[in-house]
Homo-oligomer: A and B are copies of this chain.
Amino acid sequence: MSNRPYNFYPGPAILPLEVIQQVQNELLNIGGTGLSVMEVSHRGKAYDEIHKTAMADLKEVLHIPDNYHILFLQGGASLQFAMVPMNFLRKGTADYVNTGSWAKKAIKEAKLFGNVNIAGSSEDKNFSYIPRELNLSPDADYLHITSNETISGIRWNRFPETGYVPMISDMSSEICSRKIDVARFGLIYAGAQKNLGPAGVTAVIIRDDLAEKCPDDVTTMLNYKTHVEKESLFNTPPCFAIYVVGLVLKWIKKQGGLEALEEVNNEKARLIYEVIDGGDFYRGTADPADRSIMNITFRLPSEELEAEFVRQSEKAGFVGLKGHRSVGGLRASIYNAFPLEGVKELVKFMKKFEQENS
Q: A interface vs B, CB < 8 Å? A: 1, 3-5, 7, 9-15, 20-21, 23-24, 27-29, 33-36, 38-42, 44, 74-79, 81-82, 86, 105, 108-109, 112-113, 191, 193, 197-201, 217, 219-222, 234-241, 244, 319-320
CA A236 to CA B23, docked complex, whole Å: 22
Q: Which residues on B sit within 8 Å (CB–CB) of A74?
A: 74-76, 79, 200, 238
List 10 tightest A-B contacts by C-beta distance, closest first.
A200-B238, A74-B74, A38-B198, A82-B219, A78-B235, A3-B34, A24-B27, A9-B41, A199-B236, A200-B200
In-complex Cβ contact of A23 among B27, B193, B235 (8 A)? B27
By a CB distance below 8 angstroms, the chain B residues around A320 are 41
On whether the beta carbons of B28 and A15 are closer than 8 Å, the reply is no
**Once the chains bind, are A40 and B76 in contact (CB under 8 Å)?**
no
Interface of A is mostly: loop
Minimum CB distance partner of A226 in chain B:
B78
Which chain B residues border A81 with CB–CB below 8 Å? 219-221
Check B112 against A241 for contact (C-beta < 8 Å). Answer: no
Distance of A237 from chain B, by nearest CB (Å): 7
A20 to B40, CA, bound (A): 13
Verify B27–A12 contact, CB threshold 8 A. no
A36 contact set on B, CB distance < 8 A: 15, 20
Q: By the criterion CB–CB under 8 Å, are A15 and B38 in contact?
A: yes
Q: Which residue of B is nearest A110, CB measured?
A: B219
**CB–CB A221/B79 < 8 A:** yes
Indicate if the CB atoms of B39 and A28 lie closer than 8 Å. Answer: no
Pick 8 A–B contacts, CB within 8 A, sort by A: A3-B29, A33-B319, A75-B79, A76-B221, A79-B222, A105-B220, A109-B220, A112-B217
Q: State the CA gap A10–B40 with chains docked (Å).
A: 9
What separation, in Å, do the CA atoms of A217 and B109 have in the docked complex?
10
Closest to A86 in B: B219
CA distance A197 to B238 in the complex (A): 11
Supposing A15-B39, A219-B82, A221-B78 touch, asked if A241 and B200 sit within 8 A by C-beta, the answer is: yes
> Contacts of A199 on B, CB cut-off 8 Å?
38, 42, 236-240
With CB as the reference atom, state the residue of chain B lying closest to A202: B74
When chains A and B are docked, how far (Å) is the Cα of A115 from the Cα of B86? 21
Q: How far is the CB of A6 from chain B (nearest CB, A)?
A: 10
Distance in Å from the Cβ of A311 to the closest Cβ of chain B?
15
CB-based contact A39/B7 at 8 Å? yes
Q: How far is the CA of A108 from the CA of B216 in the complex (A)?
A: 12
A3-B30 Cα distance, complex, nearest whole Å: 12
Within the complex, what minimum Cβ distance (angstroms) separates A49 from chain B? 15
Bound together, the chains give a CA A109 to CA B197 distance in angstroms of 31
Bound complex: CA A239 to CA B12 (Å):
9
Assembled-state Cα–Cα distance A337/B82 (Å): 37
The answer on a CB contact under 8 Å between A34 and B5 is yes
Residues of B within 8 A of A42 (CB): 12, 199
Are B24 and A12 touching (Cβ within 8 A)? no
> Which residue from B5, B198, B221, B236 sits with its C-beta under 8 Å from A11?
B236
- Nearest residue, chain B, Cβ from A1: B28
Q: How far is the CA of A11 from the CA of B42 in the complex (A)?
A: 8
CA distance A14 to B37 in the complex (A): 10
Minimum Cβ distance to chain B for residue A240 (Å): 5
CB–CB A38/B20 < 8 A: yes
Contact A34 B4 (CB under 8 A): yes
Known pairs A238-B200, A241-B200; A221 contacts B39 (CB<8 A): no
